Structure 1
Amino acid sequence: MKEITASMAGTVLNVFVSSGDQVNAGQEVLMLESMKMEIPIESESAGTVQELKVNIGDFVNEGDVLIVLE
């Protein structure tokens, strides 16, 4: 099981994947907004989205788990 985590604190601006979607390494899966900047979050490895841990508008801290991959 692989986890995609937040690289910095911010608000979830957009989620580009859904549960069950296949993702590739380097694919943008989520967009955070921090200090008025948009920060893309990419998957470090390929896999299937097992669980989304956040919703649009949620505030996350650095290191929080955003998405769980199988």
Structure 2
Amino acid sequence: MSIDRNIGTIGPQSNWTEIWHLWTVIVPRRSINGQFVLGKVWRRHDGRDWIYKKFTEFDGEEAA
């Protein structure tokens, strides 16, 4: 019996892998006041792993 080791290889990327999603992350630790730490990040799948980027909010009035 032979085993095909190329089964798990990554083929061409789909279009959905190029889309960034805004994702809420909960860090498994508690803040000083006892609440969970959470934040938002941009997340995209590259066909193999998830890639994360920092999400920075801005005030629309300041940008104008």
TM-score, normalisation: structure 1: 0.27
More strand by share: 1
Larger Rg: 2
Q: RCO greater where, 1 or 2, for CA within 8 Å and sep 6 or more?
A: 1
